[in-house]
Amino acid sequence: MKAAGVDITELARSVGVSYQAARKVLEGESKAFTAENNAKAAARLNVSSDWLATGMGDMARNANSIVFSEENEDLVRIPLLANSGSMGKGNDTLDADYVVGDLALSAHWINQHIKPGNLQELKFIHAHGESMSPTFSDGDVLLVDVGSRDPASHEGVYVLDVHGQTYIKRVRMRMTGNLEVSSDNPNIKTVDELNGDHQVRVLGRVVWAWNGQKL
């Protein structure tokens, strides 16, 4: 608190909670902050939101983390990654996420429509190719929840790493227990079944396409 130059009263005002609520969270008596309030408090204190919520990990905030805009405390700036998710032959998967900018969204809108487990796990990427049309098209901006990586419990559209290539495909569980990976475009429909022998890594779930579609 002292390092950030913020007292409890000022922090409570910034986050929009009572003095007692802020004090209890910071003194470890409560974990009552919502994901939105935790992210606001972490940004105001310039610390990692994961560290503030759990006391574990690195206290310092990651350079790629979401931050709240100083001009409007309801706005959060979400990193836009350089890597594009291919809907065709695949793009090279970056060894590390490279942030090329950020886009601002309302925290209220995110929590109302997306309901992520953690605001810090939201990232933007661009779609590349047309195999997922008409759901979304080449160049569309996609909001990805990198904390949602279990297609078995939540069928949907996922970003996949296959042999070092990045793809965006629809993934669902079949009755056999295997995962089915498919494209939405009826003109170039492809379907693959993952039987455990494929080297596939789930990177996150696409939760919104910036053509107005919730996925």
- Report CA-CA distances (Å) from 108 to 70, 73, 82, 119: 16, 11, 26, 11
What pLDDT is recorded for position 88?
A: 47
Cα-based distances in Å from 122 to 58, 81, 115, 194, 208: 19, 11, 11, 26, 11
Whether the predicted pLDDT of 29 surpasses 80 = no
Give the CA count within 13 Å in the CB-facing half-sphere of 134: 0
- Same-domain pairing of 69 and 12: no
The answer to whether residues 115 and 38 belong to one domain is no
Whether 103 and 137 share a structural domain: yes
Q: Which two tokens stand for residue 72?
A: 């409007």
- With left for phi above 0 and alpha for psi between -120 and 50, is residue 42 left, alpha or beta? alpha
Same domain flag for 57 and 73: no
Pair (18, 88) in one structural domain: no
Residues 54 and 75 in one domain: no
User: In total, how many domains does the chain have?
Assistant: 2
Q: Does 76 share its domain with 152?
A: yes
Q: What is the pTM of this model?
A: 0.62
Residue 157, H or E segment: strand 156-162
* Domain limit, last residue, from 37, 61, 85: 61
Q: State yes or no: pLDDT of 94 exceeds 70.
A: no
Backbone φ, ψ for residue 193 (5° rounding): -115, 125
CA–CA separation, 156 and 101 (whole Å): 26
Tell which residue, 55, 45, 53, 48, has the closest CA to residue 6.
45
pLDDT in tens, 140-169: 889 999 889 999 889 999 999 887 788 899
Which residue in the block uniquely carries the two structure tokens 């503030």?
52
The residue range of the domain holding 29 is 1-61
Instruction: Give the tokens for residue 159.
Output: 């970003």
Q: State pLDDT tens for residues 36-72.
A: 666 667 666 666 666 666 666 666 555 455 555 555 5
Q: What is the CATH number of the domain that holds 52?
A: 1.10.260.40
